[in-house]
Amino acid sequence: MNILAFNASPRKKWNTATMLAHVLDGARSKGAECEMIHLYDLAYKGCISCFECKKIGGKSYGRCAVKDELAPVLERAARADALVFGSPVYFGTESGEARSFLERLLFPFVTYTPGYQAIAPKKMPTALIYTMNVKEEALGQLGYNTFMNRMQGTMARVFGSCEVLTATDTCQFKDYGKYLTTAWDAAAKAKRREEVFPQDCAKAYALGERLAAPQAGEPIRGAM
Ligand SMILES: Cc1cc2nc3c(=O)[nH]c(=O)nc-3n(C[C@H](O)[C@H](O)[C@H](O)COP(=O)(O)O)c2cc1C
């Protein structure tokens, strides 16, 4: 089983990447072959609205026609056995590179037919990981659940199932003293990093185990 992880944070070793690494460790423990792709290493843009992926009889029907550094990654994603995607929350939604990636990944697989029938070449378990500064209780108040549920629904429609895992109240810097961050209690953030983030990572590990060994016939449910 081949599982691809996509890190849509510019940071390769902090909250989002760490959560993804735990997902892959969990998947590897079940025998999966795994790879993490750091999207900020790649030069690409979002969907350019060329509609080549929807042209009747076109050579790129159902596939993204844009040829850039993301193109081979999208080909690999379509052939994988499971996908996990992680993004920090920036201004109340995914990061810019995350949006661009998701547009390119998903749009070719959604047809402009009644019910937006999906035409991904294969169904597979997928997961979305979101890390963010706000506390868990703010997810509903600030509408974060809405955007996460919407993307989860699209992923599930395209690939068959999608689980969402969040890490809230994340620690943004190793040393809060170096930055103007009077909005937060640095000691509380450090404590959270030490005590709660490992629990988030354990949930990520368990998610990886599930991705690598989904229950036959049972779609993976959202976990928000
Ligand atoms: C440009 C920018 C915008 C952000 N906007 C939000 C936001 O709207 N809500 C939030 O909860 N956190 C916000 N954050 C904090 C990050 O989402 C959070 O620290 C995240 O865990 C960082 O992930 P990383 O460690 O993988 O980079 C923002 C951070 C940056 C750099």
| 27-70 pLDDT per residue, tens | 999 999 999 999 999 999 999 999 999 999 999 999 999 999 99
**Residue 215 DSSP symbol:** P
Asked if the model's pLDDT at residue 223 lies above 90, the reply is: no
Mutate to test the pocket of ligand 1, among 38, 89, 189 (most ligand atoms within 8 A of CB): 89
State the angle between helix axes of 71-79 and 96-106 in degrees (0 to 180), rounded to the nearest 10: 60
Pocket of ligand 1 contains residue 168 by CB under 6 Å = no
Kindly report the protein residue whose alpha carbon is nearest to atom 22 of ligand 1.
88
User: Is there a contact between 186 and 127 (Cβ–Cβ < 8 Å)?
Assistant: no
What is the whole-number distance in angstroms between the Cα of residue 88 and the centre of ligand 1? 5
User: Is there a contact between 85 and 162 (Cβ–Cβ < 8 Å)?
Assistant: no
Q: What pLDDT does 111 receive? A: 97
In angstroms, the CA 49 to CA 94 distance is 20
Q: How confident is the model at residue 218 (pLDDT cuts 50, 70, 90)?
A: low
In whole numbers, what is the pLDDT of the chain averaged over residues?
Answer: 95
State the angle between helix axes of 186-195 and 197-212 in degrees (0 to 180), rounded to the nearest 10: 40
Mean pLDDT of 183-189: 94
Mutate to test the pocket of ligand 1, among 6, 132, 137, 192 (most ligand atoms within 8 A of CB): 132
Asked if the model's pLDDT at residue 220 lies above 80, the reply is: no
Q: What pLDDT does 105 receive? A: 98
pTM: 0.95
The domain ranges of the chain are: 2-212
Q: 52: which 2 tokens?
A: 């080549």
Pocket of ligand 1 contains residue 100 by CB under 6 Å = no
Supply the CATH classification number for the domain 2-212.
Answer: 3.40.50.360
> How many CB atoms lie under 10 A from the CB of residue 159?
23
Pocket of ligand 1 contains residue 134 by CB under 6 Å = yes
Asked if the model's pLDDT at residue 8 lies above 80, the reply is: yes
Kindly report the protein residue whose alpha carbon is nearest to atom 16 of ligand 1.
132
In angstroms, the CA 46 to CA 19 distance is 25
Q: How confident is the model at residue 221 (pLDDT cuts 50, 70, 90)?
A: very low
What is the whole-number distance in angstroms between the Cα of residue 167 and the centre of ligand 1? 11
